[in-house]
Structure 1
Amino acid sequence: MKILYINTLYEPFIGGGAEITIKHLVTGIRDLGHEVKVLSFWDKKDSEDLINKISLYRAKIPNLYLPYGEFEISFKKKLLWHFFDIYNPKSKKIVSEQVKKFNPDIISFHNLYGWSSSVWEVVDEFDIPAVQVLHDLYILCPRNMFKNGEVCDRQCFTCKVARFPWKLKSRKLEAVVGVSNFILNKYISLGYFKGVPIKKVIYNSRNIENISLEKKVDPKYINFGFIGTLSPSKGIELLLKSFHKVKKKHYKLFVAGSGKKDYVQYLHSRYKDDSIVFMGRVDPKKFFSRVDVTIVPSVWYEPLGMVVVESFAFGTPVIGSNIGGIPEMITADVNGMIFDPFKEGDLEEKMLIFEKRILEWRSKYESIKQSAKKFLDYKKWINQWEELYKLVIYKR
């Protein structure tokens, strides 16, 4: 098979978990002997390279800026960017030219920031079957249904209007795949992908090698941890506020990750405390070796949250919010606990309960690692995707 993958970014430009997932997926499908090509954006002149037997075409994004990096964008510029991204004929032209050149058997669409709804028209024009993979809620809302620090419980009128072209054109696809039941059901409940014959969930996987880990936690402390992007939607402030409320002399909080410069500086100054260690961006092993529990306090609709899987893979339990796809991964009292991020004091309560059972949790190292197995069966995951591609192609 010849498969064309389309995403906003591709390594080394990593905007989030989607880019990591796509890299693993493309590499795995290539290793099965299929011909693959990746089409992505950057902010330079168009460039085509062959990297590890993967053909990669980076097009200069036909919009005001590349949605990547830690720089601040003015409200006016963001507004114009999203206006152009409703329907951008230049994006469609880029995809059309690559389809003519590569002649794929199937197109696998992923994150479409900057590509706009126009690219779905290529499916009809070239009569090529296509799969849309749902990694987030951007197709429903430019803000991923997270506005002014709060999650949107419904699609507002403005988003309904601005996203109507996406909703209408979503019917052109042969398959839609959610990385969790939550995200697939969210789209379907709002009328997207109506009439699409194949709708299914394929949980993300990771090809994590050598996941043995020597725990170096200081037993004199209860070592809480956070790893990920430092942004409001990830709930980092909820965690920092909760930690300050329950903090005891034997509590420590390790915060690993990076974010926009101004926001990170604000966090450092606002929550400065000797018991809080801001580690910056670090190797996950360095982080997980030092913590007793990973806290995933997302306050937006986290589609899946692969940090949960990584934590389990290193034998570390998770206290996770009950929003998005996170609850699909956590089994209470087996590999972690669930809390309501919108219920006052619930996270603090779970942190205190964790302390009471600290010896029990520390003894669960091996059993928690077992929780990650279904997400770490990389070969099975790649085979699922290969089977789906074949089904989509031959079902027509």
Structure 2
Amino acid sequence: MKICVISAILPPYSRGGAESVAFVSMQAFSEHEVFAISAEPFGGWHSIWGRWGNLTRGKSRSLRVFRFAPINLFAIFNISKHNAIVRLLWHGLDMFNLHTYFVVRSILKREKPDLILTHNLKGLGYTVPAAIQHSKNKTHRPLWFHTVHDLGALHPTGLKIYGQENSFTQKMLLVSVYARLNAWLFGSPDVIISPSEFLLKEYQDKGFFPKSKTAIIRNPVISEIVSLSTKQPPPPFNFLYLGQMEVYKGVRLLLEVWKKFSATHKDAELVIAGDGSLKLEVEKAAKTLRNVRYVGFVDVVQKDEILSAVHYLVLPSLAYENSPTSIGESFVAGVPVIASRIGGIPELIKSGVNGFLFTPADLSALLAAMEEAVSVDYRQLQEGARKSAPIFSTEQYHDEVMKVYQSLIN
């Protein structure tokens, strides 16, 4: 069987967990022929026409990938550098990108995949669904499975912030028009895969995918952690923040809490890994606060090394998260998670079993969760995290996708 994975961003370019999931989804089907279509930064006119290359990461197998630079005001990799008005124009062109339509349709007609797995399409263009449908003919009708990763088709920012659910920026007419247009552009793929019940309901409530079959399949992760021998038994406890350096991720909240927590737990350490607009602020905090270490952006190998040495992952997000990839990565490493009770996170974490949940944006609640984390039987929580890991395996992902596929072709 031939499988095509379409994702706006793939390694070595990365903006978040969705890109990692798209890459891992390619690796999950090792018994099949797999290729990918993705965007790349503009690198001259030749990049507009695109080119075939190979995609590898770590010890993963090499896969074919076709990369091209969709014609737009700028590439998605640079979107954070532009103001709101320019981004708005970019979104409009991205939604109706005819260049992407013709490139993707041409490749699909030539390659003739049996199964098409799409992930985040923002940055390639929301004309990809039309390209998929128009690549079909009487003798070749591939099935199309689309995975939703965030709220990107509901809101241009892809964000819904705790406490701002009914704000003007969430309810304005332009946002409603944006969502309605995207619902029309996507239509109804054969199957919608959602890593969480939360995210699936968000889309269904807005009228998306009315005729699609749905499946809840957790995001797969690949870890190269062989053992946890480098981890010293607590105390002292080592905490990790792993993610983007942005306000909506709750980094500032965590740093405020750390001031109080480290005053009574002087040997505890907080490791912060990631990149973003708050990088300079975090670097400054690392120099002034007790036992805070900022390591910047980390690759897969570095991430595994850090996870093998920490005791807790902390996710203080203020945004409605779908299914953070870092939770699965932590569970695979036997690391319990302290996280905001928001979005799809409570579907993964059970307080006192594999981590702790706390009220978003609440300093005292996060502090209380961290205090409880250092007072309970850590080995019991660690075992709970390990037992939660199998649902994130590539084998589980493979089997569930193929089960749905077989049910449709039969």
Question: Normalising by structure 2, what TM-score?
Answer: 0.86
Distance, in Å, in 1 between the alignment partners of 2:118 and 2:149 is: 10
Q: Is the 8 A contact 1:141 1:155 kept in 2?
A: no
1:41 corresponds in structure 2 to 39
* Long gaps (5+) in structure 1: none
Superposition pairs of residues 278-357 of structure 1, within 5 angstroms: 278-282=294-298, 283-343=302-362, 345-357=364-376
* Counterparts in 2 of 1:349 and 1:173: CA distance versus 1, 3 Å: same
Distance, in Å, in 2 between the alignment partners of 1:97 and 1:345 is: 56
Q: 1:69 Cα shift?
A: 6.1
Partner residue of 1:152 out of 150, 165, 169: 165
AA aligned to 2:7 is N
* 1:21-59 deviation digits (Å, cap 9, x = unpaired): 222221222x22x22221100023121124556321001
For residue 14 of structure 2, give the secondary structure of its aligned residue in structure 1: coil
User: Does residue 220 of structure 2 align to residue 200 of structure 1?
Assistant: no
Distance, in Å, in 1 between the alignment partners of 2:390 and 2:352 is: 18
* Counterparts in 2 of 1:50 and 1:220: CA distance versus 1, 3 Å: closer
* Counterparts in 2 of 1:219 and 1:131: CA distance versus 1, 3 Å: closer
Superposition pairs of residues 1-396 of structure 1, within 5 angstroms: 1-29=1-29, 31-32=30-31, 34-43=32-41, 44=43, 45=47, 46-51=50-55, 52=61, 54-68=63-77, 72-127=81-136, 128=141, 129-146=143-160, 152=165, 156-196=172-212, 198-217=213-232, 219=234, 221-251=236-266, 252-260=268-276, 262-270=277-285, 272-282=288-298, 283-343=302-362, 345-357=364-376, 360-362=377-379, 364-376=381-393, 378-392=394-408, 394=409
* 1:58-95 deviation digits (Å, cap 9, x = unpaired): 01122222222697333333222112123222221121
Q: Is the 8 A contact 1:312 1:368 kept in 2?
A: yes
Q: Is the 8 A contact 1:292 1:362 kept in 2?
A: no
Q: 1:367 Cα shift?
A: 4.1
For residue 76 of structure 2, give the secondary structure of its aligned residue in structure 1: coil
* 1:315-358 deviation digits (Å, cap 9, x = unpaired): 2221111112111111221111111113452112212222333x
Distance, in Å, in 1 between the alignment partners of 2:255 and 2:16 is: 22
Q: How many residues get paired?
A: 386
Distance, in Å, in 2 between the alignment partners of 1:206 and 1:5 is: 16
AA aligned to 1:388 is V
Q: 1:225 Cα shift?
A: 2.2
* Counterparts in 2 of 1:36 and 1:224: CA distance versus 1, 3 Å: closer
Q: 1:180 Cα shift?
A: 1.3
* Counterparts in 2 of 1:167 and 1:220: CA distance versus 1, 3 Å: closer
For residue 117 of structure 1, give the secondary structure of its aligned residue in structure 2: coil
Q: Is the 8 A contact 2:8 2:122 kept in 1?
A: yes
* Long gaps (5+) in structure 2: 56-60
Q: 1:364 Cα shift?
A: 4.2
Q: Is the 8 A contact 2:285 2:292 kept in 1?
A: no
Question: Normalising by structure 1, what TM-score?
Answer: 0.88
Distance, in Å, in 2 between the alignment partners of 1:70 and 1:119 is: 20
* Counterparts in 2 of 1:286 and 1:4: CA distance versus 1, 3 Å: closer
Q: For structure 1, which segment, 136-145 or 169-178, has the greater mean C-alpha deviation from structure 2 after superposition?
A: 169-178
Distance, in Å, in 1 between the alignment partners of 2:333 and 2:63 is: 30
Compute the RMSD of aligned alpha carbons.
Answer: 2.5
Q: Is the 8 A contact 1:228 1:258 kept in 2?
A: yes
* 1:140-198 deviation digits (Å, cap 9, x = unpaired): 11111246x965356542211123221123334211110111111111111111122x1
Distance, in Å, in 2 between the alignment partners of 1:289 and 1:203 is: 22
* Counterparts in 2 of 1:364 and 1:321: CA distance versus 1, 3 Å: closer
* Counterparts in 2 of 1:70 and 1:81: CA distance versus 1, 3 Å: closer
